[in-house]
Chains A and B, each alone.
Chain A
Amino acid sequence: MTYAIRAEGLVRRFGATTALAGVDLAVPTGTVFGLLGPNGAGKTTAVRVLATLLAADEGHATVGGYDVRRDAHRVRQLIGLTGQYASVDENLTGTENLLLIGRLLGMSRGDARSRARQLLADFQLTDAAERAAKTYSGGMRRRLDLAASLVGRPQVLFLDEPTTGLDPRSRNELWDIVRNLVADGVTVLLTTQYLEEADQLAGEIAVVDHGRVIAQGTPEELKARTGGQVLAVRPIDPADLPTVLAITGEVTGAAPEVAQSTVAVPVNDPAVLPAVVRRLDAAEIAVAELALRSASLDEVFLSLTGHRAEQDAPTDADLERILV
Chain B
Amino acid sequence: MSSATLAAPLAPARRPSLAAGLRHTFTLAWRSLVQIKHNPMELLDLSIQPVMFVLLFTYVFGTAIAGSPGDYLTFALPGIIVQNAFFATMTTGFGLNNDLTKGVFDRLQSLPVARWAPLAGRIVADTVKQAWSVALLLGVGMLLGFRVGTGFAGLLAAFALLLVFSLAASWISVLVGVLVSEPDKVQIFGFMVIFPLTFTSNAFVPTDKMPSWLQRWVEINPATILADALRGLLVSGPVAGPVARSLIWAAVLLAVFAPLAVRALRRRA
Binding site for B on A (CB under 8 A): 48, 51-54, 71, 73-74, 76-81, 83-93, 96, 100-101, 103-106, 132, 134, 148-149, 152-153, 155
Contact = CB atoms under 8 A, between A and B. Distances in A.
Contacts, number: 89
Given A103-B27, A104-B111, A148-B107, A85 B38 contact: no
17 contacts: A54-B269, A73-B14, A76-B112, A77-B12, A83-B103, A84-B103, A87-B104, A87-B106, A87-B107, A88-B104, A92-B35, A100-B28, A104-B24, A104-B108, A105-B112, A106-B20, A155-B8
B107 A78 contact: no
Given A53-B269, A73-B14, A96-B34, A105 B111 contact: yes
Interface of B: 7-8, 12-16, 20, 23-24, 27-28, 30-31, 34-35, 38-39, 102-104, 106-113, 269
Contact of B13 (A52, A74, A100): A74
A51 B38 contact: no
B103 A74 contact: no
A73 B108 CA distance: 12
A88 B108 CA distance: 10
A103 B34 CA distance: 14
Given A90-B102, A104-B24, A148-B107, A77 B38 contact: no
Contacts of A153: 7-8
Contacts of B102: 85, 87, 89-90
Given A100-B31, A103-B27, A105-B111, A81 B106 contact: yes
B106 A91 contact: no
A154 B172 CA distance: 37
Contacts of A88: 104
B27 to A, nearest CB: 5
Given A85-B102, A91-B38, A106-B20, A74 B107 contact: no
Contacts of A132: 38-39
B7 A83 contact: no
Nearest to A131: B38
A104 B28 contact: yes
Contact of A89 (B15, B24, B104, B111): B104
Contacts of A51: 110
A52 B107 contact: no
Contacts of A101: 111
